[in-house]
Chains A and B, each alone.
Chain A
Amino acid sequence: MSRPLEDILFGAPSPRARAATRAASVAAAVVLLAVAAGIVARFHSAGQLDARLWSFFALPTTWAFLGKGLLGTLASAAMAAAIALGLGLVLMLGRLARPRLIRWPSVAAIEFLRGTPTLLLIYVCFLVLPSVGIKLSTYWMLTLPVALSTAAVVAEVYRAGVLAVPRGQTDAARSLGMTEMQVFFTIVFPQALRYIVPALVAQLVIVVKDTTFGYVVTYGELMQNAKVLIANYQSLVPVYLVVAAIYCLVNYGLSRASKRLGRPGW
């Protein structure tokens, strides 16, 4: 299938249909512009376009502070992702292991971590652990819960990849006299990784989103720094809009990367 469906659906229209489509396009553009104008008018009438609310974006310190927040976000996200990739592998191996004593606890851990909201895990690190004498830094209060819930999802992604490797390959490797470890790490796992790279990168987007909860524990990530800026300049709407745009750009970039990596021939 080379042509997208929509081209087939509406492809090669008659001149009359083409004229109708053009008219409808213009109408759609007019409606969308009217909506945009309505939004701008609403901003204007609410006084949100005042230069006072936007002028501090001309200061390099503003961008330095937001940049620091973004670095905080990325530092937490990168560590959470690294832990999740390693722990996810351990959980997946446990889940595929034959002894029940290993398999069942792994299944339980995966289902528990996957089925619990990340925010609830953050509250445990933030509110519950200190009451039993365990005190984490704000960085770990955010990073650890995000890493744990991601690890469980990553374990399932790994498993899907491993199960997708044709069985004949395992049998062939075993008949060559390879040990189970060799079969897994030289034959199965490298191939599984190639299947799942897009899903793993997509998971990174979720990690970046989850680190937004950093403001709950006052860890200095993008959202937390946005709140500080808002308090300093009394400029709520502009700051949130700029921060939302930064998040969208970062995550959109990651999504695009995952689509590119997922293309056949990679």
Chain B
Amino acid sequence: MGEVHKLLADYGPAFGQALLLTWKLTALSFVPGFALGVVVAVLRLLPLPPLRGALTAYVEVFRNIPTVGLLIFIVFALPDLNVVLDYDTAVVLTLALVCSAFTADYLRSGINTVDSGQIEAALSLGMRPITVITAIVLPQALRTVVQPVTSLLIALMLSTSLASQVPFPGRELTALVSKIANESAAGIAAFAVAAALYVTTGLVIGWLGGLLERRLRILR
């Protein structure tokens, strides 16, 4: 316990900043990632085979590629193609791309839970297919995917740890732990504190997601 006390005296503010940066990276990549995922899921419904094929390929590639592999590609390979991004932009872009692919995939199964009778009813009322998607299919699909998207958000929060793989302005939690482990003997204490912060954040996200899920659940 004394070790943790000393660690927090030495690195307390650094841990505060690291936690904030972890949260910031999570939010910055989740919001555009989720929005992009919704757009991809909707576009995949359009009856345009070339577009559907391309978007299916998009989803499968970013769902199956290791996230850190994608980050390394964006950071080290894109400059060879004359595309140079800041390190923090590269991290956010990586996480957002992966998040969008999983969101699109979950939404697709959410969309499949909508009863086809509702679609036929809406169409026979004279609604245009686009209106049916935005007014009937999408709201229900979004309500059914709260739970998997909550898990996705937690996974994304844990994935911000791979920002420690690039020289980043500021340190998120994992980079801070590796720095402390390199420069002092407080590695275990630093790890324990960082792990506690990750676990607590994840539990809070899971709890909020559970609340939202209970409010939005559709009783069928």
User: Interface of A with B (CB < 8 Å)?
Assistant: 1, 3-6, 8-10, 21, 24-25, 28-29, 32, 42-43, 45-46, 48, 111-112, 114-120, 123-124, 127-128, 131-132, 205, 208-210, 212-213, 216, 223, 236-237, 240-241, 243-244, 247-248, 251-252, 255
Contacts and interface: CB of A to CB of B under 8 A. Distances in A.
Contacts of B120: 8
Interface string B129-148: 10011000100000000000
Contact of A120 (B83, B174, B185): B174
Contact of A127 (B65, B80, B181, B195): B181
Contacts of A255: 63-64
Interface of B: 44-51, 54, 60-61, 63-70, 72-73, 76-77, 80-83, 111-112, 114-116, 119-120, 123, 129, 132-133, 137, 154, 158-159, 161-162, 164-165, 173-174, 177-178, 181-182, 185, 187-188, 191, 194-195, 198-199, 202-203
A8 to B, nearest CB: 5
3 cross-chain pairs, A with B, having the tightest CB-CB distances, nearest first = A115-B199, A117-B161, A128-B187
Contacts of A111: 199, 203
Contact of A117 (B45, B72, B158): B158
Given A48-B81, A117-B158, A243-B69, A252 B119 contact: no
B183 to A, nearest CB: 11
A117 B80 CA distance: 30
Contacts of A3: 116
Contacts of B177: 120, 123
Max chain A C-beta neighbours (<10 A), residue from B44, B65, B66: B66
Contacts of A8: 116, 119-120, 123
A195 to B, nearest CB: 17
A236 B83 CA distance: 14
Nearest to A111: B199
17 contacts: A5-B45, A6-B45, A6-B46, A9-B133, A25-B48, A28-B51, A32-B54, A111-B199, A119-B174, A120-B195, A127-B182, A127-B187, A128-B181, A208-B66, A237-B80, A240-B72, A255-B64
A120 B48 contact: no
Contacts of B76: 236, 240
Nearest to A9: B129
Contact of A115 (B137, B162, B174, B202): B202
Given A123-B177, A213-B68, A116 B195 contact: yes
Max chain A C-beta neighbours (<10 A), residue from B44, B64, B162: B64
A9 B69 contact: no
Contact of B65 (A5, A29, A120, A244): A244
A32 B56 CA distance: 13
Nearest to A206: B155
A120 B129 contact: no
Contact of A9 (B45, B158, B164): B45
A224 to B, nearest CB: 11
Contact of B174 (A117, A205, A208, A209): A117
A223 B66 contact: yes
A266 B114 CA distance: 25
A247 B73 CA distance: 13
Contact of B80 (A6, A48, A116, A223): A48
A24 B47 CA distance: 9
Nearest to A238: B77
Contacts of A244: 61, 65, 69-70, 73
Nearest to B64: A251
A13 B182 CA distance: 66
A2 B214 CA distance: 29
A10 B64 contact: no
A116 B49 CA distance: 41
Contact of B82 (A42, A114, A124): A42
Nearest to B200: A115
A104 to B, nearest CB: 15
A236 B64 CA distance: 21
Contacts of A118: 158
Contacts of A205: 64
B116 A5 contact: yes
Contacts of B132: 9
Given A119-B161, A252-B60, 4 more contacts: A9-B129, A10-B129, A123-B164, A248-B65
A111 to B, nearest CB: 6
